[in-house]
Amino acid sequence: MKRQLSLLLFVVGLSSVLLLLFTLTTTAPQASGAALPAPLDWPAAPSAAPEVGVAKWHISGFARPGGKIVYNVVYWNDGDESAANVIITDTLPLSTTYAGDTSGLTPDIGANDVITWHIGNLPVPGNDDNWGVFAVTLDVDAGIITGTEVITVNCATISTSTPGDANPDNDTSCSGPVDVWDSDVGINVNKWP
């Protein structure tokens, strides 16, 4: 009986070892030198790309004939690659002309009142140098009509020569229209960060 039990344990043990070897050689191709096939549902590694954006708005209130209107522009790169040759373009609304801005750049003012700021390269986030903000001042024609929403919506667009922008929906931003009234001057001041 003792001998039969030993033989039975030997056979079971040998079977287990053979089953384990068979399983390893049929389910693990690397054991025989073959590479594992990549699963079809694995996503491809994302490639690095910039993610530039722009926002534009105007200071609250209304414009006056012969007066000024001020717009603010903020731009950024939130991607994981630097954005090269970044430019911002803006087509001025009718009855306005460019008066100046606080960008520190000299913009090109082309035909059809298109302003182009050559920002240059925008690095990836990390040192707070991946964004900028500036104000743009426009002169309002003295002969402009008065009324609600006389100065139309004004849009700025940002672009880069580096491909792959993951969110092109934020590459254009438009301010609301501006009322024009010829009334007594009321002076006020606002300040915020």
For strands 114-122 and 83-91, give the pairing.
Answer: antiparallel
Phi/psi of residue 135, each to 5°? -105, 145
For residue range 42-76, what is the model confidence (pLDDT) as tens digits?
Answer: 666 568 899 999 999 998 889 999 999 999 999 99
Which residue, chain included where needed, has tokens 């087509």?
91
* 3 state DSSP class of 31: helix
Of residues 30 and 97, the one with the higher pLDDT is 97
Single out the residue of 48, 140, 23 nearest to residue 93, CA to CA.
Answer: 140
- pLDDT reported for residue 51: 97
* 3 state DSSP class of 125: coil
- pLDDT reported for residue 26: 56
What is the rounded distance in angstroms from the CA atom of residue 158 to the CA atom of residue 103?
15
- The reply to whether the predicted model has a pTM over 0.85 is no
What is the rounded distance in angstroms from the CA atom of residue 161 to the CA atom of residue 80?
15
Cβ(135)–Cβ(156) below 8 Å: no
Which letter does DSSP use for residue 112 in this model?
Answer: G
Phi/psi of residue 182, each to 5°? -110, 90
What is the rounded distance in angstroms from the CA atom of residue 56 to the CA atom of residue 183?
27
Single out the residue of 71, 81, 27, 21 nearest to residue 51, CA to CA.
Answer: 81
- pLDDT reported for residue 7: 46
What is the rounded distance in angstroms from the CA atom of residue 100 to the CA atom of residue 139?
9
Single out the residue of 61, 67, 74, 64 nearest to residue 99, CA to CA.
Answer: 67
- pLDDT reported for residue 96: 96
